Chains A and B, each alone.
Chain A
């Protein structure tokens, strides 16, 4: 490969460049925009996200390594960039009216969302662990601030503080892990670690220890058991549009990095990490689903549900085959759409001060706002895994890829699928509970429905259409996911 100059490969980072550029523009312009007009900045951010999607398109057509191989712009990275940026764009649309309603319309909010998205993009494309660390920090630090953005609300502050303290710990774990992997292999390049480990024949204990620490660090970020404890508190306390972003995009990006590290660097050690993933998957699913059963706060319930979904993703993750990667990627795409959709609706229904978050508060929504209730039902049914929705096919491919790997892992993985299947029935109960409230319960009297703002309705529409599209005609997305999986240099 010819050693290209550093800036020649900049177009391969086009999405990040565009996102950061718009983030900076918004910050620079912010002081000159009067308070009444600040919502324009939200639209600027949305345009930035759209342009970044175009940047993804550009990057897609010029795949290859960037910045001396620190970044690898392959089909895998492109797929995840698309997911992350779509999630960010939808979250921005959901934020514009929310911030007005809460009286916290500020330019830096949108800048932070864009910076976070850029960080997640780097996570998805990183081919070097320290670069990945930078991406992780970019997205995390922006998120810490965003979580505390309702600065007059105690829950928001508490969530921010909790997230910051525990998140810093987790990043430290990740950093230690990198150090150990470096110590064992002498490199921090993801693909070179693979080559070194393969050359040496056996895998040094230090490298395994490093992998373990990386698992802890990243496991915290994707909220899997036993590192899930902070998740529901943070998701509940954060402003709902931020929860929308937090529950979707960073998970996708961090899972991407985990895939790269586990499958590429440590592909030869899959029998070591298989059991860690297996145990974590079982714990994550059970904790997520069982805890969600008893929640009365919708945001908290959805938070536990997203823990459960991380568990389903781990089922496909455990497959340790190329099919498994494709299944994880498809699941992430489906998951992000339905989760974003669900939280966007909660954003609207929460009303001022996020007061209406109890399941009981949704009583009679089916008759008062039938379209909104139908969309919410669609997202819930998709999370539940009902056919003709994206969530069903996500689970379907996840289970399929896991069963397919029984030649590698034996009956353990078959049991994992059975456990996951049982869990998805447990999960059915709490999703249906919301629908019971919406459709079967007597309408609550004091609820005055407010009309959904155009920006938010558009975002909900996009998420709903995507959920249905992936559920009925998944072939194209699946082809992309397969191509992305094959673009990873597995051993």
Chain B
């Protein structure tokens, strides 16, 4: 199976090792701090690509597993990835060097601390994706908080302290109840291992109310992180106040910790509860999609606008997960990656504008395409990817989610589709106000276009966007086995032959579950081949 038994540990802890290297450097040696951080993160990306080579896409089992005793008999150091987490790890390792590169000049104070925070976050986030022991998972989960707290609080904008505290208290409140749930599961099953707990829960010995409560505790933690409406209020503040790299990491990866958690823990561990709550969660997701889009439309602050698009886009992801369709869930995972790249890129361009003008106010811009055609072209390209224009990446994700959702829930899909329309409105309108027309503000006439460093960043993001749009089967194929595995837990095979057993899903759903899903899943990709 796994040819490199230690690979996953290396991928997880390499950034932390480079932190040790950074600690040795003098703190005013900014050039070398930046170089080492960038080199380390690029090396990390290269190493993480090895995961692709050894990954067996036909298997739904965890791969590259590592298993060691840690504390007592119950707590283990247990790592492994499957089709769900593989690309999220790669997304993390891809975005970190980008984040480092984009902070190259904009971070001038306490450079060492900044890059250390960034690399610690990288380790913690990868750790969340690869942990198969709930204790280990929780440790990494909480470890993401403090460096991000520092990142917002120390290098953020005017209201940074307020945003940092709000961010951390919100997330902690969710996660502490999850800790109680984890402990409860331990009390019931006698271990923290995800597989063991899954087997215990699958035996069906859990009372219904207990399952609902446990599901609720996990879901609350993840829903705050996603963030699902109405728990999203920390997000606009945190995103707006964070430095560019912080926003990129926050939007690009950290929000996915929530959707990943839902997909990895909430749904497979508590399928009954998930099915029961799906109608409510679906509605909340749709409210999030529409509400996020509407609020984004009326923002006057460009960064806040992008922040609200996250609320909308992540609503799609949650909706896709709770449609319980292979296509929809694949779409949801794909959308997580897309959102990471596209919204990350949006934040990067907004950051580049901020570096020049030190404002996010849309009124201060206008006609920017004249002084900086390259930057604005990329902005348009990225905006188009974010609003799901074919053949770019966003289209594939949203299309798969909508198609999968439509099979079981016509109404959900129709409502969600309106979000796709709205996204065209707010993004194109924003582009129009920023880039088109006459240059209204005198200062803007002399702005310089994208520098070489910025072009490297933008090209990397654009290539990723285009590649993910065209070559989506390369991604979805590797997810398929793991996603079917999740689906099987929620819709056990025997249910597929009895359509009536799942009231919320019609005949089409079970037919699809029985076989046609595989073909559905490849539709988006087929057009490109």
Interface flags for A419-438 (1: CB within 8 Å of B; 0: not) read 00110110011001000100
Contact A387 B153 (CB under 8 A): no
- Contact among A414, A428, A436, A475 with B169 in the assembled complex (CB-CB below 8 Å): A428
Given contacts A403-B184, A417-B180, A475-B72, contact A428 B168 (CB under 8 A): yes
Roughly how many angstroms separate A403 CA and B188 CA in the complex, as a whole number?
Answer: 10
Which residues of A lie under 8 Å from residue B168 when comparing CB positions? 428, 432
Given contacts A406-B187, A432-B149, contact A425 B180 (CB under 8 A): no
Would A478 and B176 count as touching, CB distance under 8 A?
A: no
Q: Does B71 contact A (CB under 8 A)?
A: yes
- B239 CB within 8 Å of chain A: no
The size class of the interface chain A forms with chain B is 20 to 34
Let me know if A399 and B180 touch, CB within 8 A.
Answer: yes
Q: Which of A367, A381, A421 contacts B179 (CB 8 A)?
A: A421
The 0/1 profile, CB within 8 Å of A marked 1, for residues 171-213 of chain B is 0110011011001101100000000000000000000000000
Is B138 on the interface with A (CB-CB < 8 A)? yes
Q: How large is the interface on B (under 10, 10 to 19, 20 to 34, 35 or more residues)?
A: 20 to 34
Residues of A contacting B146 in the complex (Cβ-Cβ under 8 angstroms): 381, 386
Question: A381 — nearest CB in chain B belongs to which residue?
Answer: B146
Interface string of A17-51 (1 = CB under 8 A from B): 00000000000000000000000000000000000
Q: A400 contacts B186, CB within 8 Å?
A: yes
Chain A residue numbers with a CB within 8 Å of B27 are 370
B187, A400: Cβ atoms under 8 Å? yes
- Residue pairs across A and B with Cβ atoms less than 8 A apart, 7 shown, are A392-B142, A417-B183, A424-B176, A432-B149, A440-B161, A475-B70, A475-B71
Partner of B172, one of A367, A428, A473: A428
10 further contact pairs, Cβ within 8 A, besides A386-B145, A474-B71: A367-B110, A392-B139, A399-B183, A403-B184, A406-B187, A421-B179, A424-B176, A428-B172, A429-B165, A475-B72
Q: Which residues of A sit under 8 angstroms from B72, Cβ to Cβ? A: 475, 478
Query: How far apart sit A394 and B477, CA to CA, in the bound complex (Å)?
Result: 44
- Residues from chain B with Cβ under 8 Å of A473 in the complex: 71
Q: Mark out the residues of chain B between 94 and 135 whose CB falls within 8 Å of any chain A CB in the assembled complex.
A: 110
Tell me the A residues contacting B by CB distance below 8 Å: 367, 370, 381, 386-388, 392-393, 396, 399-400, 403-404, 406, 414, 417-418, 421-422, 424-425, 428-429, 432, 436, 439-440, 473-475, 478
Tell me which residues across on chain A come within 8 A of B139, comparing CB atoms: 387-388, 392
Cα separation A381 to B153 with both chains bound (whole Å): 16
Q: Does B76 contact A (CB under 8 A)?
A: no
Q: Is the CB of A425 within 8 A of B110?
A: no
- Does A439 lie within 8 Å of B142, measured CB to CB? no
Q: Do residues B180 and A403 form an inter-chain contact, with CB atoms below 8 A? A: yes
Contacts of B179 in A (CB 8 A): 396, 399, 421
CA distance A440 to B154 in the complex (A): 5
Q: Whole-angstrom distance from the CB of A248 to the nearest CB of chain B?
A: 24
Complex-state Cα separation, A475 to B135, whole angstroms? 14
The answer to whether A439 and B153 have CB atoms under 8 Å apart is yes
Nearest-CB residue, chain A, relative to B27: A370
The CB with the most chain B CB atoms within 10 A, among A387, A388, A439, is that of A387
Bound-state CA distance A414–B180 (Å) is: 9
Q: Does B160 contact A (CB under 8 A)?
A: yes
Question: Does B165 lie within 8 Å of A432, measured CB to CB?
Answer: yes
Q: Would A421 and B110 count as touching, CB distance under 8 A?
A: no
- Nearest CB in chain B to that of A482: its residue: B72
